[in-house]
Amino acid sequence: MINSPIYRLVEVSSIISFAETLPLECVALPNNEPLYPVTTGERLASYILHLIQMEDWPEEGRALVDEIEEIIVQLDTGVDKPDAWRDLYDANAALKAYIRGRY
């Protein structure tokens, strides 16, 4: 039961909600090192992408996950995109509403 998709959705949403509490300048800080992930934003984007890609999502709610994944893939290639972070937070608001309304 703990590995059910709803718990994964809550986990994804919780990490994004945490990212939203951080200053945008912190999560959108570009990486100047030859390593990845180094910055806070890179670590968050990498972890969220991992959570999304490790689950076989059911059709219900899949559109929300796909939207978040699309944004995270953009951020995974470079976190210095404040608009993408804002889009992610907006997508997370929709995900939270889905979770509250469904479960």
For residues 31 and 39, what is the distance between their CA atoms, to the nearest angstrom? 6
Q: How many other C-beta atoms lie within 10 A of the C-beta of residue 54?
A: 8
**In the predicted structure, residue 1 carries a pLDDT above the cut 60:** no
Predicted model pTM: 0.90
- The dihedrals phi and psi of 43, each to the nearest 5 degrees, come to -65, -40
**Coil vs helix vs strand at 38:** coil
Query: pLDDT tens-digit profile of 57-99?
Result: 888 888 999 999 999 999 988 999 999 999 999 999 999 999 9
Share the mean pLDDT of the chain.
Answer: 91
Instruction: Look at the block and give the residue holding tokens 């995109």.
Output: 81
Write out pLDDT tens, residues 10-43: 999 999 999 999 999 999 998 888 877 889 999 9
Cβ neighbours of residue 94 under 8 Å, at least 6 residues apart? 64, 67
Q: Which residues of 30-47 are buried (b: 16+ CB within 10 A; e: fewer)?
A: eeeeeeebebbbbebbbb
What pLDDT score was predicted for residue 58?
Answer: 81
| Domain parsing of the chain, residue ranges | 5-102
pLDDT for 2: 58
